Structures are given as structure tokens and as C-alpha cells.
Structure 1
Amino acid sequence: MSEKNEEKRRFHRIFYHADAQLVSAKGVAQSCRIIDLSLRGCLLELAEPLAGIGDQPYQLKFELSAEAAIRMEIVATHVQGNQAGFRCAHIDIDSISLLRRLVELNLGDSELLERELSALGNFS
């Protein structure tokens, strides 16, 4: 990644490899694998390349445990082969709480997390 992109990045990615499900607005579901996550989006590996980039919303669902799952509405930002990057368009309070804790545990720095959460509030 170039220095320019690094400077623009406001949110640290965590490498969280997990199986997930991507559901299109038309209800078509496909299995995928999370490559990394941030409070602002994710990078996914798909079984088949994404048809294109548009404003079409998708829903990403993945389980942290039998009792805890994260769901977020996402929109594709870039596609390269079978990998696609997405930005988070909407996430409910329960899911953001779980994602926040997951990021905090992986960053190991609650002060850094607080700065990212503040940036998230100012980013819209």
C-alpha cells in the first residue's frame, strides 16, 4: 500500500479470518471469507467475483460465537479478482458493540480504539 493511502487510512484493520455470509439486496446469499475488518468496512474473499461496484447494499453476517453475531449493511468500494472491499453503510448498536470489542482486543490499545471511534463519528 502506498504512503498516500496509509496517510488517508483513519481506521486500523484487524486481520480476522472467518467464514461469513454475504446477502444481496435481492436476497441472494453467498458464502465468503473475511480477510480483514475495521470499524469502517471489510475486505472479503468471495467464491465468485463480485459482478460490479455500485450502490447496491449487501448484508454481511458472521458469528463470533453461538450467542453473538455481527450484521452490517455494506457497499462495495473496489473489486480485484475474487476479493472485494466494502465500506460499512449501517450497523446496529448490538453489532457495533461486538465489533468494537473485537477491534479493541485485536488492537490491544483502548486509547487507539477511542481515537478511531471518535474519527468514525466525525467521518460521515
Structure 2
Amino acid sequence: MIERRRFSRIVYQALAVVSQGDIEVEATVKDLSLHGLLLRCPQSHLLNPSETISIKFQLTDSDITIELEGRIIGELHEITRIIIEHIDIDSISHIKRIIELNVGDDQLLHREIEQLSDLAEFP
């Protein structure tokens, strides 16, 4: 299989709340990248994949809360793939730091940040 991923993913476990309108379901973050995340979300069938969802989770052993808006791009056996469509500067800074600590390659991380900014300019 050809690897199409452009962003490093790191394994990260955290409880999350996924909401869409009046619907709110619990999920578990399985991994993170600068561009998306993977959730274990048993009740994802309650969410409309064509509409934006909000995700909120707290960093492990911290009072820092990550908030973002995204879109479901895939689901298989309770595992839901999310692409980040909007995230505040504080939240992306915290995710960047987590990835930085886990990837161990500053050049790779900076290259990914450049790719992320290129995506923002040319959707």
C-alpha cells in the first residue's frame, strides 16, 4: 500500500466530547496529527458526516483543553477519521508541542507546518 499521509501521527489517548448541533457523544482520541485525528467513537452513527463537528478534549495530566472543528472523512468499526477544519492558535500550539516531543525530528515538524500553511492558502 502506498503511504499518502503527509503529516506525522502520534499515538495519544484522551477522552473527548464530540458535538454537532444538539447531539453530544463521547469518544476517545486514538492519535493526533497537525491535520487531523483518529477517534474511537461508538456512537458516530448519530453524527451527520456531511456537517461540521466540534471536538473537545483535555490533555492528559493537564488543565489544557483542545477545541477544534472538523469533518468526518472515514469510519470503520467505531474508528472515525477526522480532518481539522478550524482550530484556535492555542490548541494547535499544544498539539504541535505534543508532536514535537514525540517525533523527535525538528526538520520534519517544520516541513509539516509549512505543508499545513500551504493547505490553508490553497484549499
Q: TM-score, normalised by structure 2?
A: 0.88
Write the distance in 1 (CA, Å) between the matches of 2:19 and 2:47: 15
Q: What SS class does the counterpart of residue 95 from structure 1 fall into?
A: helix
Q: Say whether 1:117 aligns with 2:113.
A: yes
Partner of 2:39: 44
Q: Say whether 1:13 aligns with 2:23.
A: no
Question: Structure 1: 5+ residue runs without aligned partners?
Answer: none
Using the TM superposition, give the Cα deviation of residue 111 of structure 1 relative to its aligned residue in structure 2, in angstroms. Answer: 1.4
Measured against aligned partners, the alpha-carbon deviations of 1:8-54 in whole angstroms (never above 9, x if no partner) come to 21101111011111111x13211101111111101110122434663
Write the distance in 2 (CA, Å) between the matches of 1:63 and 1:81: 24
Q: Say whether 1:67 aligns with 2:49.
A: no
Quick check: 2:36–2:81 contact (8 Å CA) kept in 1?
A: yes
| Residue type of the alignment partner of 2:23 | V
Partner of 2:30: 35
Question: % of aligned pairs identical?
Answer: 34
Write the distance in 1 (CA, Å) between the matches of 2:25 and 2:57: 12
| Residue type of the alignment partner of 1:41 | G
Q: Runs of 4+ in structure 1 displaced over 6 angstroms?
A: none
Q: TM-score, normalised by structure 1?
A: 0.87
Question: Structure 2: 5+ residue runs without aligned partners?
Answer: none
Measured against aligned partners, the alpha-carbon deviations of 1:80-104 in whole angstroms (never above 9, x if no partner) come to 1211101001001111111111111
Quick check: 2:23–2:47 contact (8 Å CA) kept in 1?
A: no
| Residue type of the alignment partner of 1:116 | E
Partner of 1:103: 99
Quick check: 2:18–2:55 contact (8 Å CA) kept in 1?
A: yes
Say what the alpha-carbon RMSD is for the aligned residues. Answer: 1.6
Write the distance in 1 (CA, Å) between the matches of 2:48 and 2:111: 30
Write the distance in 2 (CA, Å) between the matches of 1:103 and 1:53: 29
